[in-house]
Amino acid sequence: MARWRCILLFVTMVLPSCGNSQTAPSPTQASIVAALSPNPLVSTVCAPSPCQASDGRLFRWQIQGTLLIEETAGVGGTVSSITVTAFNPQIVYTADYIVRNAGTNRVAARGMLLIPITGLYGLVDNASASKSVLLPFVVAFTDDRGNSLTALASWTVN
């Protein structure tokens, strides 16, 4: 009788773990989300006025905020660029800018990256330049499996 109790106890302890070793399939690619903060954003008048860009152009207003990039699927990767498409020429923040301002351009699996963004807009020689603009941002991302992805976010600026 004692032997049957030992066998029954052994079976009871082992069986619950049988068949419960299922694992979720690994994701095939990253999934990224981008958001800008604060949103809407209030611009400030350049001080001293006007602000001069590195290319010599003069601007009326400046903006400052943060771009958040989050990976949600479980595959990390790197941000290669961020493009603001509202202007001609477009503003492109390269990987060098991202590393210099955020410390890295890497987004860990299920992690996030905060990138400070500073920009100038409203050319002084453009009499019709509006202070209120919508700035679309396109984030270019390559995950650790070689997939190229983009995320879109827009900043409303007043």
Instruction: Give the per-residue pLDDT at 21.
Output: 59
pLDDT in tens, 97-147: 999 999 999 999 999 999 999 999 999 999 999 999 999 999 999 999 999
Main-chain dihedrals φ then ψ at residue 75, nearest 5 degrees = -130, 115
What CATH number belongs to 27-157?
A: 2.60.40.10
**pLDDT: which is higher, 18 or 106:** 106
- How many Cα atoms sit within 13 Å of 146 on the Cβ side? 0
Q: Which of 14-18, 21-25, 29-33 has the highest mean pLDDT?
A: 29-33
What's the whole-number mean pLDDT along residues 11-31?
68
How many other C-beta atoms lie within 10 A of the C-beta of residue 97? 15
CA of residue 94 relative to chain centroid, distance: 14
Instruction: Give the per-residue pLDDT at 89.
Output: 86
Three-class DSSP labels, the chain: CHHHHHHHHHHHHHHHHCCCCCCCCCCCCCCEEEEEECCCECCEECCCCCEECCCCCEEEEEEEEEEEEEECCCCCEEEEEEEECCCCCCEEEEHHHHHHHHCCCEECCCCEEEEEEEEEEEECCCCCCCCCEEEEEEEEEEECCCCEEEEEEEEEEC
pLDDT in tens, 45-93: 998 899 999 899 999 999 999 999 999 999 999 999 999 999 888 999 9
Instruction: Give the per-residue pLDDT at 13.
Output: 45
Confidence label for 10 from pLDDT (cuts 50, 70 and 90): very low
Residue spans per domain, the chain: 27-157
Confidence label for 19 from pLDDT (cuts 50, 70 and 90): low
